[in-house]
Structure 1
Amino acid sequence: MVRILVVDDHIVVRSGLIALLDGKHEITVIGDAADGDEAIAKAQELKPDVVLMDFSMPPGKDGLTATTELKKLMPDVAILILTMHDDEEYLFRAIQAGASGYILKSAPHQELISAIQSVAEGSAYLHPTATKRLMSEYLDKVKQEGASGPYELLSEREKEILGWVAKGYSNKEIAEHLIISVKTVETHKSNLMEKLQLKTRPELVKYAMKKGLLNFE
């Protein structure tokens, strides 16, 4: 039996989802919440297998913020984002937040049930339109960079130093942090810029931004 927490700011939507899911298809609804803060509190209290999370819940904490925070507190919980937004940007933001799946509110009931079962089993679920978009972007990237891409040619140390350089740290500061010599930092920096075919720091920063390496947490 899949234990599920339903999160949506509209009580009519929550009630409809509970009526649709509870006690059917090996699914039981153990609770519901109206915003992100309530979802986080109830998830920690009730320990669901799956959180069905609305994307937008004004004026409370939104689904993406709640997903990010909840995954830090409960890494094993599966979160399925339920949204009306059929948009690429929302899709990627949901994935980055740690969601196990992304499904539209307009999806057929059976698709929602299948999505819940999939994420409960540890699989990822994306609605068909989203899957096509991801595949299209991946194929475009392969065409532009080749199957591996220049980034994959970097060693783990070079990738690490790329991130530090892009954030504005000096060679000396990087050396002190990584406990290596300044000369070693300079060598890695020179090698990685050659592999990436970059010549200046602004080019390096721009590249790092595209790769999502500028997380300052």
Structure 2
Amino acid sequence: MQYICIADDHPLYRDALKDVLNQHFTALTVLEAGSLAQVLELAASYPALEFVLLDLNMPGMAGLNGLVQLRQQFPQIAVAMLSADDDKQTVLQAMAFGAAGFISKSAGRQQLVSALKQLLNGDIYLPADTFRQSVAPGNSPIEHKAEQALLRGLTKKQIKVLQRMVSGESNKQIADALCIAETTVKAHVSAVLAKLGVPSRVQAILLARDLDFSLYL
């Protein structure tokens, strides 16, 4: 039995999420909290709690400070953020502070189900729509040289994989889009991390988020 906590101060939204979880997932025990203090109490009371869906703006959160506090006190619990504030900077900051994913409150039901499946399967989930927003054109010569240096060691296939990572796609989505096996994607991701000199997928995204990939593909 997997324990998951829905932490949101709006009962209607909690009910909607609980309904999705109960309809699409089995062997789940769903806990509910309306504040960060309640989340911390539940985490202390339920050692089997594995996952928290955490509202960014509920009482006690103080922005991403609540995420940091929860991760510090209970590092074994995976946390995905919930928020309507899904701009790229907020999402990346949440990931840098230890979130396993970020679900936009504007997500439709099917998108929500897909996000939860990825997260409960141990994958990272990022809101793809947020990462598809184009970056303003017109890099300076210095910025262009920095891009060239960053991507110089990558093959064209690895650049395509990195581009889709930055767009928030999962390994499975990348595999489907590029018509390659998911194991091959994992190998490309590992190679990309090694060549960029970063230890995690999130840090690779942070490093490459403003690159103009069209110049290299």
TM-score calculated relative to the size of structure 1:
0.57
Ranked by relative contact order (alpha carbons within 8 Å, sequence separation 6 or more), the top structure is 2
Q: Deviations over 1:120-170 (max 9, x none)?
A: 23211001123335x959xx7974513555xxxxxxxxxxxxxxxxxxxxx
Q: Is the contact made by 1:36 and 1:62 (CA closer than 8 Å) also made in structure 2?
A: no
Q: d(CA) in 1 for partners of 2:100 and 2:143? A: 24
Mapping for residues 1-217 of structure 1, pairs under 5 Å? 2-22=2-22, 24-26=24-26, 28-46=28-46, 47-58=48-59, 60-62=60-62, 64-133=64-133, 143-148=144-149
Residue identity matched to 2:42: K
Q: Is the contact made by 1:67 and 1:99 (CA closer than 8 Å) also made in structure 2?
A: yes
Q: 1:11 to 1:63 in 2, by over 3 A?
A: farther
Q: What secondary structure, in the 3-state scheme, does the structure 1 residue paired with 2:64 have?
A: helix
Q: Deviations over 1:95-129 (max 9, x none)?
A: 12211111111112222222222222321100112
Q: 1:126 to 1:45 in 2, by over 3 A?
A: same
Unaligned 5+ runs, structure 2: 151-206, 208-217
Q: Percent identity?
A: 27
Q: Is the contact made by 2:61 and 2:67 (CA closer than 8 Å) also made in structure 1?
A: no
Shift of the alpha carbon at 1:63?
5.9
Q: Is the contact made by 2:24 and 2:113 (CA closer than 8 Å) also made in structure 1?
A: no
Structure 1 or 2, whichever has the larger Rg, is 1
Aligned pair count?
A: 146
Q: 1:45 to 1:143 in 2, by over 3 A?
A: farther
Q: d(CA) in 2 for partners of 1:143 and 1:26? A: 49
Shift of the alpha carbon at 1:54?
0.7
Shift of the alpha carbon at 1:69?
1.4
Q: Is the contact made by 1:51 and 1:77 (CA closer than 8 Å) also made in structure 2?
A: yes
Q: d(CA) in 2 for partners of 1:143 and 1:100? A: 31
Q: 1:53 to 1:86 in 2, by over 3 A?
A: same
Q: d(CA) in 2 for partners of 1:98 and 1:42? A: 20
Shift of the alpha carbon at 1:76?
2.9
Q: 1:62 to 1:117 in 2, by over 3 A?
A: farther
Q: d(CA) in 1 for partners of 2:9 and 2:73? A: 22
Moved more, 45-54 or 24-33: 24-33
Cα root mean square deviation, aligned = 2.9
Q: Is the contact made by 1:39 and 1:66 (CA closer than 8 Å) also made in structure 2?
A: no
Unaligned 5+ runs, structure 1: 150-210, 212-217
Q: d(CA) in 2 for partners of 1:2 and 1:92? A: 27
Residue identity matched to 2:75: P
TM-score calculated relative to the size of structure 2:
0.57
Q: 1:28 to 1:146 in 2, by over 3 A?
A: same
Q: Is the contact made by 1:40 and 1:66 (CA closer than 8 Å) also made in structure 2?
A: no
Q: 1:42 to 1:144 in 2, by over 3 A?
A: farther
Residue identity matched to 1:45: S
Q: d(CA) in 2 for partners of 1:20 and 1:62? A: 28
